[in-house]
Amino acid sequence: MATQILPLELIDKCIGSRLWVVLKSEREIVGTLLGFDDFVNMVLDDVTEYENTAQGRKATKLGQTLLNGNNIAMLIPGGAGPV
């Protein structure tokens, strides 16, 4: 019998690890997950934000960032970000 894991349990296992976050907009975020709440609002550290623009993909280095869970489309644990 397979063991089931709840989504918030999986995210909890990612604390301290790199996380690739695909947002509902044209942006993607890669950073180290420091914490989150029941609404999947996240605090990430050592963040790089990737944005698709008319000139191509733009990368912006950010420090600590609070990310609103409503904007998240997909989470990729251990993801290094877009290539």
CA distance 16 to 33: 5
What pTM value is reported for the model? 0.87
User: How do the domains of the chain map onto residue ranges?
Assistant: 7-77
Q: What is the mean pLDDT of residues 10-18?
A: 93
**CATH class entry, domain 7-77:** mainly beta
Give me the pLDDT at residue 1, please. 64
Distance in angstroms (rounded) separating the CA atoms of residues 7 and 27: 22
Residue-level pLDDT at 79: 80
pLDDT (average), residues 9-22: 94
List, as one string, the DSSP characters of 17-61. SEEEEEESSSEEEEEEEEEE-TT--EEEEEEEEEEEETTEEEEEE
pLDDT tens digits, 34-55: 999 999 999 999 999 999 888 9
pLDDT for residue 80: 82
- Residue identified by tokens 């869970």 is 69
Would you state the pLDDT for residue 26?
84
